[in-house]
């Protein structure tokens, strides 16, 4: 007997593959987990499409209280229908793990997911960094989202921000509210009114909407009912820029200002520019007998070499680049503290 996780897909029962329908029809009992995602379907429509009764699972049955389901699968073929791709919600892999530990056979039928469908924006699915969820107000502050935006930007990667929902209380974030929450957090280095943002609403549904603009402009744009996600692009390939313009109606002004620079790049460039300015106008003071002008020149030569190393490593190895420019800064500071040169940062 088998416990089968069956993906419904992104939209409704019509997204189920033939394999998903066959697997569902082969089950003795079918459950539907419909609380991690908003779908344009319900247990009755699923049941009609499959031709078998479908019972909706309350949240606890899968999370805290899963063993009875696993025990049931010891004696019968049990199918659990899940929105999107079955394994993109973190809870479901735990169920497979627990079943495997108890010697119960499992199977997964894969399906379409928001995680890959966002490629319709034109942003390459290979260039997304860590995905993050913006919690509903009152649950948690948006700190993790802002930290993830910074982290992904550091590597030039796009960030997919899923928007929390509470199916039981019929509450779901919208793009407008999500943007406002991120702007109100007042961390402009992570997210500000000029940040290029893509709003995606009801992707895969008949009335889907995709719109890209600056955060400030997009916050005033109504994209209709949830489900919504938000994407903050990282570095753009020119094909991606073209796609945002054409497929997501992005105005040129929002694209022109888009130059995502990470924290490490900012520091490397700031230290490097400061050191170069200092060595160009360096004022060598009266030197003690033990130090010659050649000694000072040799050290400033090292500074220049470290700065060159910083530039060389900046694209691929930012930590090494920052260490190099920090050495350069350190040598100049040491020369000044010894009273051998005079300058101001």
Segment (H or E) for 33: strand 29-33
228-232 sheet: strands from edge to edge: 132-134, 159-163, 228-232, 196-201, 209-214
Helical spans, DSSP H, in the chain:
18-25, 43-50, 59-62, 67-75, 90-101, 114-117, 143-154, 175-184, 215-218, 238-247, 252-256, 263-280, 293-313, 318-337
Please name the residue that has the structure tokens 């699968």. Answer: 73
Q: Which of 163, 181, 196, 254 contacts ligand SAM by CB under 6 A?
A: 163
From the CB of 11, what's the least distance to ligand SAM, in Å? 6
Strand 196-201, strand 171-172: pairing:
unpaired
Q: Which of 153, 158, 202, 258 contacts ligand SAM by CB under 6 A?
A: 202
- Candidate segments 15-23, 110-118, 151-159, 270-278, binder of ligand SAM by CB under 6 A: 110-118
- Report helix angle 293-313 to 263-280, nearest 10: 150
240 binds ligand SAM (CB under 6 A): no
Q: Which of 218, 229, 296, 332 contacts ligand SAM by CB under 6 A?
A: 229
215 binds ligand SAM (CB under 6 A): no
210 binds ligand SAM (CB under 6 A): no
Would you say 271 and 329 are in contact if contact means Cβ atoms under 8 Å apart?
A: yes
From the CB of 87, what's the least distance to ligand SAM, in Å? 8
From the CB of 108, what's the least distance to ligand SAM, in Å? 12
Give me the residue whose beta carbon is nearest to ligand SAM. 84
Q: Which of 27, 30, 95, 114 contacts ligand SAM by CB under 6 A?
A: 114
12 binds ligand SAM (CB under 6 A): no
Tell me the sheet residues that pair with 186: none
85 binds ligand SAM (CB under 6 A): yes
Q: Mark 59-80 as b/e (b = at least 16 C-beta within 10 Å).
A: eebbeeebeebbebbeeebbbb
Q: Which of 227, 233, 260, 262 contacts ligand SAM by CB under 6 A?
A: 227
Q: Which residues contact 159 (CB under 8 A, 6 or more apart)?
A: 128, 129, 130, 131, 132, 148, 149, 152, 153, 231, 232, 234
From the CB of 265, what's the least distance to ligand SAM, in Å? 30
228 binds ligand SAM (CB under 6 A): yes
Cα-Cα-Cα-Cα torsion 159, 33, 117, 133, nearest 10 degrees, comes to -10
From the CB of 120, what's the least distance to ligand SAM, in Å? 10
92 binds ligand SAM (CB under 6 A): no
- Cβ proximity to ligand SAM: between 179 and 275 the closer is 179
From the CB of 141, what's the least distance to ligand SAM, in Å? 18
| Site for ligand SAM, rule CB under 6 A | 10, 36-37, 83-85, 88-89, 113-115, 162-163, 165, 200-204, 227-229
């Amino acid at each position: 007997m088998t416990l089968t996780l069956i993906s419904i897909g992104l939209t409704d029962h019509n997204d189920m593959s033939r394999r998903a329908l066959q697997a569902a029809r082969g089950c003795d009992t079918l459950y539907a987990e419909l609380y991690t995602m908003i779908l344009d379907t319900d247990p009755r429509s699923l049941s009609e499409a499959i031709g078998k009764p479908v019972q909706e699972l309350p949240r606890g049955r899968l999370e805290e209280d899963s063993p009875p389901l696993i025990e049931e699968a010891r004696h019968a073929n049990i199918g659990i229908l899940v929105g999107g791709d079955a394994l993109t919600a973190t809870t479901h892999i735990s169920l497979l793990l627990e079943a495997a530990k108890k010697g119960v056979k499992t199977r997964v039928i894969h399906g379409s997911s928001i995680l890959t469908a966002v490629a319709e924006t034109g942003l390459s699915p290979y260039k997304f960094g860590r995905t993050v969820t913006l919690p509903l107000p009152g649950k948690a502050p948006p700190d993790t989202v802002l930290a993830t935006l910074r982290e992904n930007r550091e590597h030039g990667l796009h960030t997919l921000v899923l928007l929390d929902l509470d199916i039981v209380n019929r509450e779901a974030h919208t793009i407008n509210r999500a943007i406002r929450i991120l702007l109100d957090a007042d961390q402009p280095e992570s997210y500000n009114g000029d940040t290029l943002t893509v709003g995606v609403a009801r992707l895969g549904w008949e009335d889907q909407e995709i719109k890209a603009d600056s955060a400030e402009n997009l916050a005033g744009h109504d994209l209709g009912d949830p489900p919504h996600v938000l994407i903050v692009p990282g570095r753009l390939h020119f094909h991606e820029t073209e796609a945002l313009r054409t497929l997501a109606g992005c105005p040129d002004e929002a694209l022109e200002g888009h130059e995502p620079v990470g924290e490490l790049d900012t520091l490397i460039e700031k230290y490097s520019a400061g050191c170069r300015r200092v060595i160009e106008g360096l004022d060598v003071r009266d030197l003690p007998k033990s130090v010659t002008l050649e000694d000072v020149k040799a050290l400033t030569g090292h500074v220049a070499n470290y700065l060159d190393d910083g530039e060389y490593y900046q694209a691929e190895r930012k930590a090494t680049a920052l260490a190099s420019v920090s050495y350069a800064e350190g040598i100049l500071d040491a020369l000044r503290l010894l009273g051998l040169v005079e300058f101001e940062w």
